[in-house]
Amino acid sequence: MTPVEIGLWVTGGMLVLVVLGMRVAFAAALAGVVGLVWIFWEKKDYEAAEFAWALTVAVKTAGQVPHGKVASQALSLIPTFILIGYLAYYAGLTRALFEAAKRWVAWVPGGLAVSTVFATAGFAAVSGASVATAAVFARIAIPEMLAVGYDKRFAAGVVAAAGTLASLIPPSAILVIYAIIVEQDVGKLLLAGFIPGVFSAFVYTSLIVILALTIKGFGPPVTGFTWRQRFQSLPPALPIVAVVLIIIGFVYNPFGGDAWGTPTEGGAIGAFIVFLMAVFRGMRWPELKDALLETAKLSVMIFSIIWGVLIYVRFLGFADLPSAFSDWITSLDYSPMLILICILLAYAVLGMFMDAIGMLLLTLPVVYPAVMALNGGEFVSADDSAFGMNGTMCAIWFGILVVKMAEFCLITPPIGLNCFVVAGVRDDVSVQDVFRGVMPFFLADGVTIALLVAFPWIVLWLPSLAS
């Protein structure tokens, strides 16, 4: 049996384990070790006496991965970004954001739902975790929407869908993971996510306004705030703006010249500033302990997935499956754009059965080289490429597209994690209610993805400034 055939069998077995309910980290690590043993044993013609040798070599090969790949400075961004979000919650910044958004935009049709989207977008700018964003605003926004007459299913759906914005708007943990897997610049990818993330928020709010205008009593506006009350709501929310400017400044100096520092340094300083704000606003040891514990739990979960998947990726290298898949993709007699659209649709289906981070980690080692091959290779000029951009810009554009697909998968049944989080926080809302509530946002996400595919400059304009 050839290494590619072994790769296909092992990958199929891993997907079966995931569908049956095994955690992605364990399924990927097990598949990687079994695949390595199989390949090494194959080289010895399946001699029984050599099985122990193959097992030993496979375990040693796999054992080098966790420390060798994870001991990366870029990965230290993940816990700092997550910590910023939890500290901002305990500092009361989330409540301040929602109050400011409510006073300024709640007068439009569907005003409280629109306020929720804008507030979650603001919180996403200091939190790299979609799950944390959904959990926080399920406590804050849903009660207020229910109080003015919103349907509970739609109120829950707004929070679940808006929580996905944290996947794109920097700081984003998923974008950091993508950058590490495909070996691209973390700073440029974080910059690239800003405009698409804000654009997604405006598409969501447009959908809400249209629904409120066409369905009687759908989302009553909230009025009565004076201009003085509106301006009074801004100072408590300004710390969010300060943290965002610091993080973006460390990635890209808006005043020209070199960046102020690395994204890792920006994340650490941002976490320290939010910590000082939280202490100033009255956070004490119990709240700090909860923030640190929640950060540790989520960080360990993400790192465990990375460890397991990287063992599987090491096996893929021995099986030569990425190259075989790239050769097959480039041999198809279809346009590169049509193949790209099919790949994105495959992500939508796969996301129904896997969590976002695990899905990207498992597929990118195979899919990314194929997309780059479609474009003409890593080092091509824009004139020679299939998508009209060089290799680096193509990698950034594709990264934003797949992360947006990962956002979409956070609200798709039956695995949509954000929907389960909202239902877990709210005892009066079932998971089925949340899934019904997010259905209109499938259309909004479809429109956003289509526009990002059709107009790549939405993604690439900001990172091109940092070139």
What separation in angstroms does the CA of 317 have from each of 6, 32, 71, 101, 309? 12, 10, 20, 49, 12
Q: What is the pLDDT of residue 283?
A: 80
The three state secondary structure string of 160-174 is: HHHHHHHHCCCCCHH
Q: What is the pLDDT of residue 200?
A: 93
Q: What is the pLDDT of residue 314?
A: 80
Q: What is the pTM of this model?
A: 0.83
For residue 414, whether the previous peptide bond is cis, meaning omega lies within 30 degrees of 0, is yes
- Nearest alpha-carbon partner for 18 in 305, 424, 325, 298: 305
Q: What is the pLDDT of residue 335?
A: 87
Neighbour count for residue 449 (Cβ, 10 Å): 22
Going residue by residue through the chain, which has 467 residues, state the pLDDT in tens, using 9 for 90 and above: 788 888 888 888 888 887 787 877 888 888 888 888 878 777 665 555 567 666 777 777 777 766 666 666 667 777 887 788 788 777 777 888 888 888 998 888 888 999 999 988 888 877 767 777 888 888 888 888 888 888 889 999 999 999 888 888 877 778 888 888 888 888 788 888 889 999 999 999 999 999 988 887 777 888 888 889 889 888 887 777 777 777 777 666 555 556 676 777 777 888 888 888 888 877 888 888 888 888 888 778 778 877 887 788 788 878 888 778 878 887 888 888 899 999 998 888 887 777 777 788 788 888 898 888 887 766 566 666 777 788 888 899 999 999 998 888 888 887 777 888 888 888 888 888 999 999 999 999 999 999 999 999 999 988 887 65
The three state secondary structure string of 314-355 is: HHHHHHCHHHHHHHHHHHCCCCHHHHHHHHHHHHHHHCCCCC
Q: What is the pLDDT of residue 256?
A: 55
Domain limits, the chain = 1-63, 73-297
Q: What is the pLDDT of residue 167?
A: 83
Q: What is the pLDDT of residue 128?
A: 66
The label of the residue with tokens 């796969």 reads: 350
Q: What is the pLDDT of residue 49?
A: 54
